[in-house]
Structure 1
Amino acid sequence: MGVAIRVAGEADRELVVGLLDEAFQDDPVSNWVFPDPAHRRAKHPGLMAAFTDVVLAEGRIDLAEDGSACALWLSVPAAHHDGVGEGDSGGDGTDEDGPAQLRAAVDPDNERVELIGRLTAGIHPEGRAHAYLWMIGVAPERQGEGLGGALIESVLDRCDREGLAAYLEASNARSRALYERLGFELTGSPLDLPDGPRMWPMWREPRPAAQV
């Protein structure tokens, strides 16, 4: 599928936040973090804004030219886990206190905002440098058109050329199936959130040129 893609900048912040908020309102993990629908509508945009700010500052956001989809990527160096890893999942990209800071900023009385960061950090692979697909959001009315796959493939092509692995956590069975088609495989054990849904950590080895 031919999708025009550009790198988002600060001027696109509100567009990206709104897109992620809309795309993840009904996601199983977002529903676990914010079980009450009214509370989720109130607090979820702030969580998506915090994530967006991290990646605008420290990573890369690929945006479909028509604003229908976005993908948030971080570059994780080798042997990252005692610092960057927890921040990657927790909200500030480098600080191991990121999950607590995120909770304080977004929803202080909601321990799950902090817990999700700590739990995903705990399963994040150590040792090898990789591209981390933190989030990918597609406008609900555009889902099923191949936009998400096109955004991801544009980065995976670069990973293959550079010999770089990629990693993500799938938050639902439908997205897991997409990632498997793109060459990701389950790594380690799934993460079962307390009284909540399952997440699947997935790793993709770079493909030799002959297989691309």
Structure 2
Amino acid sequence: MLEIRLPEGMRDAEAADWRRMGDITGEAFAEDPVNLWIFGRTDALTPVFSQLARHLYIPNGICHLAGDRGATMWCLSDRRKELGALATLGLVWTLMQKGSKGAAKRALTAGETMAREHPKDRHLYLFTIGTRKAERGKGLGKQLISPALAAADKAGMPSYLENSNPANTGFYMSHGFERMKLFEPGPGAPPLEAMWREPKPQDAI
């Protein structure tokens, strides 16, 4: 397990925080091209991310909150899990109710494609990072991403993410991520940008 030191104002998410995690993340991704292609409606974002936080990332991953302002969902690559049968049914039901026509199929296709493109080497995976709209431009993104990356550096572990919004490429590059490739999560979808970050040597930190 990584030794992550959180600054004042940040904490580990607990089991009861799944709704807050989903609400913050849903708001953060409201203008995200890939997620809008998958779900079709912004109404689906918060319930989908809430369920993923509840059933996958809080129990199996590394989730952080900065009050009600921002949230991150990480996971070590060798601890990544699939949704259980009941949770999958719940997610499909949510997509049918909240998403546009075909959202469940697009989500399944995107998930399969992302899994196929995922690097095999052990790494720290950043699933989501996001802030409330009112908190953008205040340096909160840096505060959210830095503790886990510092821990990865200390452990000599690389990191990986799929950037779903070109507007965020510069932010990720400023934290050491480099583009691996672009790939489409489904036919006609906006591209995802696979990004990789090698750990910084300790004497360079």
Q: How does 1:117-156 map to 2 (within 5 A)?
A: 117-126=111-120, 128-156=121-149
Structure-1 separation of matches of 2:159 and 2:85 = 25
Residue 168 of structure 2 corresponds to 175
Structure 2 contact 35–164 (Cα < 8 Å) conserved? no
Give the structure-2-normalised TM-score. 0.84
Q: How does 1:193-212 map to 2 (within 5 A)?
A: 193=185, 194-212=187-205
What stretches of structure 1 of length at least 5 have no aligned partner?
78-83
Structure-2 separation of matches of 1:45 and 1:206 = 32
Residue 107 (str. 1) matches residue 100 (str. 2): no
Residue 99 of structure 2 corresponds to none
Q: 1:97 deviation in Å?
A: 8.5
Q: 1:56 deviation in Å?
A: 0.8
Q: How does 1:1-212 map to 2 (within 5 A)?
A: 4-35=9-40, 37=41, 40-41=42-43, 43-53=44-54, 54-64=56-66, 66-77=67-78, 88=80, 93-94=81-82, 104-108=92-96, 109-110=102-103, 111-126=105-120, 128-187=121-180, 189-193=181-185, 194-212=187-205
Structure-1 separation of matches of 2:47 and 2:26 = 9
Structure-2 separation of matches of 1:103 and 1:75 = 23
Paired-residue identity, %: 27
Matched position secondary structure for 1:73: strand
Structure-2 separation of matches of 1:28 and 1:102 = 24
**1:32 corresponds to which letter in structure 2?**
W
Structure-2 separation of matches of 1:24 and 1:166 = 21
Structure-1 separation of matches of 2:202 and 2:133 = 34
Number of equivalent positions? 191
Structure-1 separation of matches of 2:130 and 2:179 = 21
Structure 1 contact 63–71 (Cα < 8 Å) conserved? yes
Structure-2 separation of matches of 1:95 and 1:34 = 18
Q: 1:160 deviation in Å?
A: 0.7
Q: 1:60 deviation in Å?
A: 1.2
What stretches of structure 2 of length at least 5 have no aligned partner?
1-6, 97-101
What is the root-mean-square deviation of aligned Cα atoms in Å? Answer: 2.4
Give the structure-1-normalised TM-score. 0.81
